[in-house]
Amino acid sequence: MLKQERVAYILRRLQELYPATPVPLDHKDPYTLLVAVLLSAQCTDERVNQVTPALFAAADNPGTMATLSSEEIRDIIRPCGLSPQKSKAIKRLSEILLEEHGGEVPEDMEALERLPGVGHKTASVVMSQAFGVPAFPVDTHIHRLAQRWGLTSGKNVVQTERDLKRLFPREHWNRLHLQIIFYGREYCTARGCDGRVCEICRTCYPERKHPKKTRKA
């Protein structure tokens, strides 16, 4: 299978498997999504969704969040891990949104990336899922599957994002990145597939004899 044939097949098969792509993190607006994505670093979406109801009951907007102490935020978000850093970032980014953006989450990649605790991936998720701007956030699942499917060398997540954006049409990015995550969690897991087990790996590389080694994100 040539690379372009693999790309066409992957697009078609993932659309068949996941015609609907609900955002995994519970939120009600760009601000609550931003906070939830920040919390999801080194933490599962399921755990984040267990923690955010209590956090958003205490504060679901920058104005209220900024009035809480870092310790109060940390006590609520402790189950998510890295709570000392995350609590300070949430408080400070809330203050910056009030000071510089009128209390609104900016619909701007560079402005998002300047916020404390918000890297390129978090900013990409917010642009994609909150504002519908085409982006291709690469998480550990996407990085692993893109290598198994021969779409990237997987040198690093920056290279993987660049390769996927080049291969797939822009209008598919927002849906596709979620579809790949869903497939990676369900079928092409880190331990459950080695590049020769799941349907897409077997279809893309039917002659693969040895496990596909992948670089970690």
pLDDT digit string (tens) for 101-144? Answer: 999 999 999 999 999 999 999 999 999 999 999 999 999 999 99
User: Considering 86, 91, 121, 163, which one is annotated as catalytic?
Assistant: 121
Does the structure show a pLDDT above 90 at 158? Answer: yes
Give the model confidence (pLDDT) of 35-51 as tens digits.
Answer: 999 999 999 999 999 99
Does the structure show a pLDDT above 90 at 211? Answer: yes
Question: What's the mean per-residue pLDDT of the chain?
Answer: 97
Query: What is the average pLDDT across 62-75?
Result: 98
Neighbour count for residue 132 (Cβ, 10 Å): 10
pLDDT of the residue at 99: 98
Q: Region of 3 please: left (phi>0), alpha (psi -120 to 50) or beta.
A: alpha
The beta strands (E) that lie in 98-166 are given as none
Q: What percentage of the chain carries pLDDT values higher than 90? A: 98
pLDDT of the residue at 217: 83
Q: Quick check: helix, strand or coil at residue 131? A: coil
pLDDT of the residue at 176: 98
Does the structure show a pLDDT above 90 at 205? Answer: yes
- CA gap 74, 83 in Å, rounded: 5
Give the model confidence (pLDDT) of 73-103 as tens digits.
Answer: 999 999 999 999 999 999 999 999 999 999 9
User: Considering 26, 45, 60, 139, which one is annotated as catalytic?
Assistant: 139
Q: What percentage of the chain carries pLDDT values higher than 70? A: 100
CA angle at 144 for the pair 154 and 125, rounded to the nearest 5°: 95
Does the structure show a pLDDT above 90 at 15? Answer: yes
- CA gap 95, 92 in Å, rounded: 5
Q: How far is CA 145 from CA 21, 29, 47, in A?
A: 18, 30, 23
Task: Mark whether 26 is an active-site residue.
Answer: no
Domains in the chain, start-ordered, CATH in brackets? 3-20+136-204 (1.10.1670.10), 30-129 (1.10.340.30)
Which uninterrupted H or E stretch holds 126?
A: helix 120-129
pLDDT of the residue at 145: 98
Task: Mark whether 139 is an active-site residue.
Answer: yes
Query: What is the average pLDDT across 24-32?
Result: 98
pTM higher than the cut 0.85 = yes
3-state percent breakdown (helix, strand, coil) of the chain, nearest 5: 60, 0, 40
